[in-house]
Amino acid sequence: MKTSERLLARLREIDLDLPEGTRLVRVYPSPAMRTEGSWTWTALGPGGRDLRIGSQHSMATLLGAEMLLAEPVRSGVVDTDIDVVPARPCRQCATATETACRICRGPFCQTCFTDHHHEGYGTPAEPDW
C-alpha cells in the first residue's frame, strides 16, 4: 500500500469524514506561500472536492505516530479546517493527546492532567520561570 493509502486508513480509524474515493495529495506551496504551519498534504474527496482536512506534518511523520488527533483550526471567518497531528495515548484514559506533563513528560489529556501531581512540585501550575 502507498503511504497516502495507509494514512487514509488511519484517518478513517479516528472517525474523520472521508467519503469513498477520497485521495490524499501532497501540497507543494511556492516559496512565497510557504509559511510556518502550512500544510504538506490535503484530502480531496470525489470529484476533487476539498475536504478541508490536511496537516502541517508529513504523511510519514503521521504514520510513525502512535496515535493521531484531528484538531479543528479556524482558517477564516466561517471555515474550519481539520489539522491532523501526531499524538500519544493519555496514560490515564488512553485518549489521544498532544500534551505532556512538563515534569515526567508522560502524555496526559487536559482532563486527566488536572488530577496529575508530582510529590514536591505542588500542583501543576503555569511555570513561573
Q: For residue 100, state whether it binds Zn ion (rule: CB under 5 A).
A: no
Q: For residue 87, state whether it binds Zn ion (rule: CB under 5 A).
A: no
Q: For residue 55, with 0-12 CB atoms within 10 Å meaning exposed, 13-18 middle and 19 or more buried, which class applies?
A: buried
Q: For residue 109, state whether it binds Zn ion (rule: CB under 5 A).
A: yes
Please say which residue, 28 or 129, places its beta carbon nearer to Zn ion. 129
Straight-line distance from the first to the last Cα atom of the chain, in angstroms, rounded to the nearest whole number: 48
Residue with cell 487514509: 8
Residue with cell 485518549: 95
Please say which residue, 68 or 90, places its beta carbon nearer to Zn ion. 90
Q: For residue 90, state whether it binds Zn ion (rule: CB under 5 A).
A: yes
Task: Tell me the window of 15-23, 39-47, 63-71, 109-117 that interacts with Zn ion (CB under 5 A).
Answer: 109-117
